[in-house]
């Protein structure tokens, strides 16, 4: 996949802003609704958000560190890597979300969570917006970042942003479906 760097970054900013707005909507809900589960094996809204926070704890410092270590200037075109493009596309929300097994250290099931979890998510999204702004002056194809599942696999910076932001979007959609299920319960 080839795309104008500026266009990619603008799309990612818009998606992140939408995720922030949805999270703000969630923060207006009652705590009972935020912790409600359709079944004991399902995640609650807060568990969806905490899952994203756990990934943010890894990716935000990784992205920031990778960008700070590189002097590579922005190029006008971002060329996605094969693996990065595959991971990014697999994170995009679909009509019927395909189930994915999450790693134990990123699974918040049965955690004791409150609305601070949403506040933390919003703060992380604000950080992503700052990092996307810095990325305007960086080479999205040449700068590489590690991924949470392996130190040895590196993705292009543009792909890492796509994976993280699409993953956020995916679980925001999941949380919205929980709201609908709760309202129809």
- Classify domain 2-183 by CATH number: 1.20.120.450
Q: Which pLDDT value is given to residue 11?
A: 98
pLDDT at 54: 97
- Amino acid 24: pLDDT: 98
d(CA 89, CA 86): 5
Rounded Cα distance between 125 and 1, Å, is 25
- Return the pLDDT at 155: 97
Cα within 13 Å of Cα(59), Cβ side: 29
Judging by beta carbons within 10 Å of its beta carbon (0-12, 13-18, 19+), is residue 32 exposed, middle or buried?
Answer: exposed
Q: Return the pLDDT at 87.
A: 94
Q: Are 62 and 161 in contact (CB under 8 A)?
A: no
- Please report, for the chain, the start and end positions of each structural domain, with discontinuous segments joined by +: 2-183
pTM of the model: 0.94
Averaged over successive runs of 10 residues, the pLDDT of the chain (185 residues) comes to 96 98 98 95 96 97 96 88 95 76 74 95 98 96 92 94 98 96 88
Handedness of CA 64, 12, 37, 114 (dihedral sign): positive
CA angle in degrees (0–180, nearest 5) for 149-171-179: 155
Q: What is the pLDDT of residue 151?
A: 80
């Amino acid at each position: 996949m080839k795309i104008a760097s500026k266009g990619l970054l603008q799309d990612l900013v818009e998606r992140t802003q939408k995720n922030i707005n949805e999270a703000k909507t969630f923060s207006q809900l009652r705590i009972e609704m935020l912790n409600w589960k359709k079944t004991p094996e399902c995640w609650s809204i807060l568990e969806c958000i905490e899952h994203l926070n756990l990934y943010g704890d890894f990716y935000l410092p990784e992205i920031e560190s990778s960008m700070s270590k590189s002097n590579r200037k922005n190029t006008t075109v971002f060329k996605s890597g094969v693996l990065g493009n595959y991971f990014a596309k697999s994170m995009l929300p679909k009509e019927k979300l395909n189930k994915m097994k999450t790693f134990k250290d990123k699974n918040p099931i049965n955690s004791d969570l409150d609305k601070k979890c949403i506040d933390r998510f919003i703060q992380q999204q604000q950080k992503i917006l700052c990092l996307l702004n810095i990325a305007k002056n960086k080479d999205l194809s040449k700068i590489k970042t590690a991924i949470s599942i392996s130190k040895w696999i590196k993705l292009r910076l543009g792909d890492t942003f796509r994976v993280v932001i699409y993953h956020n979007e995916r679980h925001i959609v999941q949380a919205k479906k929980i709201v609908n299920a709760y309202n129809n319960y």
